[in-house]
Structure 1
């Protein structure tokens, strides 16, 4: 009588490797275009291992987006206390603006945005998850920073949540969308981004004096 050998569980490291390697494949090929053969080859595993870990391609994609949403770094949470000591409104808003640009303009965040937008109809729950853990959470921390500046009377910010959204939109609407849709043909230079930040900081501070 043959006794089947029980296969060892897939390690967390192996799962992480498959998720990491799948990102590049999904970005390049899209969800529909990415085959399980390509996904397995990119991670240097067999298709059977991929299926054992995630069930199927849909399971892998969902796990990838959920993992990336958990990784989304909130650049403003550590700055709430810093806002209590900053010397001027201009210095404070510039610090927040530069943090915004560093987050949104990063290659990984841009890749994730493209994926989520492209597949939001197919995976609406993942689109909502990205919205809540990305935009909503980060915007709330930015609003906290603005609340501190209001309490210190460096700026007048009666509606910090709305002002946080306006600041982020004013600074990053053009740079982010240009990078997403025309980044290869028309990459934004560091100088151009600095000009956008300078103008945005000046306009925001002027409006909230």
Structure 2
């Protein structure tokens, strides 16, 4: 598999950073047509791995290469937008408008864990991560860096406000929010993603994901819960 675009280069006058297309909120910042294009990229990665060209994306999405360059910039811009779009499918917990309680904290953490596991154990995420791992350290592609930045690191940044709110409310006790997130990550994801990346065919179903999430949150609160 090869992440380098054959001989295609983006026209400088139409190239734009991925952020310009994504806006402040990944999901809300994309038009329906742009989402269709990024879904086409994800499907190509499932079917063919990462060795696809911009021309193949254009054919699959029934749009021009010029449009792809205008929306997403270069190859890395397209990959970044694709990874961010997939990551945006993880539903983020909303902080309660009134005082945070242990029950509402547990509900929010469990909902996030369920959504996170559902996304990362799906075929699309597995294809993305396999492609990233296949070139890790090779210098051939930035996909690994893109996945890391917009995967675990982005999830940490998005869940931190809930963890901090729990600490402020006296429901959680930790010195470093990064340490708390690492514990949460380990309990929720555990070895599930690794097994799938290594070829295990048995994806957890809805009931299993709910059970794993509930158990992970119970253990997390056992470690960090207060009051």
TM-score, normalised to structure 1, is: 0.69
Aligned partners of 2:45 and 2:128 also within 8 Å? no
Deviations 1:143-183 (A, max 9, x none): 22112111211121222211112102211123333444445
Residue 138 in structure 1 maps to residue 178 in structure 2 = no
Gaps of 5+ in 2: 1-13, 15-20, 22-30
Quote the Cα distance in structure 1 between the aligned partners of 2:98 and 2:130.
36
Aligned partners of 2:100 and 2:165 also within 8 Å? no
Match of 1:62 in 2: 76
Quote the Cα distance in structure 2 between the aligned partners of 1:18 and 1:142.
28
Gaps of 5+ in 1: 1-8
Match of 1:99 in 2: 112
SS in 2 for 1:85: coil
Residue 197 in structure 1 maps to residue 207 in structure 2 = no
Aligned partners of 2:49 and 2:127 also within 8 Å? no
Quote the Cα distance in structure 1 between the aligned partners of 2:41 and 2:177.
38
Aligned partners of 1:150 and 1:157 also within 8 Å? yes
Quote the Cα distance in structure 2 between the aligned partners of 1:37 and 1:68.
16
| 1:87–1:122 distance in 2 versus 1, CA, 3 Å | same
| 1:23–1:197 distance in 2 versus 1, CA, 3 Å | closer
| 1:21–1:157 distance in 2 versus 1, CA, 3 Å | same
How far the C-alpha of 1:102 sits from its partner, in A, is 0.8
Residue 28 in structure 1 maps to residue 47 in structure 2 = yes
Aligned partners of 2:113 and 2:213 also within 8 Å? no
How far the C-alpha of 1:67 sits from its partner, in A, is 1.0
Residue 176 in structure 1 maps to residue 193 in structure 2 = yes
TM-score, normalised to structure 2, is: 0.64
Aligned partners of 1:146 and 1:160 also within 8 Å? yes
Quote the Cα distance in structure 2 between the aligned partners of 1:143 and 1:36.
36
Q: Tell me how large the CA RMSD over aligned residues is.
A: 3.4
Quote the Cα distance in structure 2 between the aligned partners of 1:41 and 1:68.
17
Residue 149 in structure 1 maps to residue 149 in structure 2 = no
Match of 2:60 among 34, 42, 60: 42
Match of 2:183 among 157, 161, 166: 166
Quote the Cα distance in structure 1 between the aligned partners of 2:54 and 2:177.
46
| 1:151–1:61 distance in 2 versus 1, CA, 3 Å | same
**How many residues are paired up?**
187
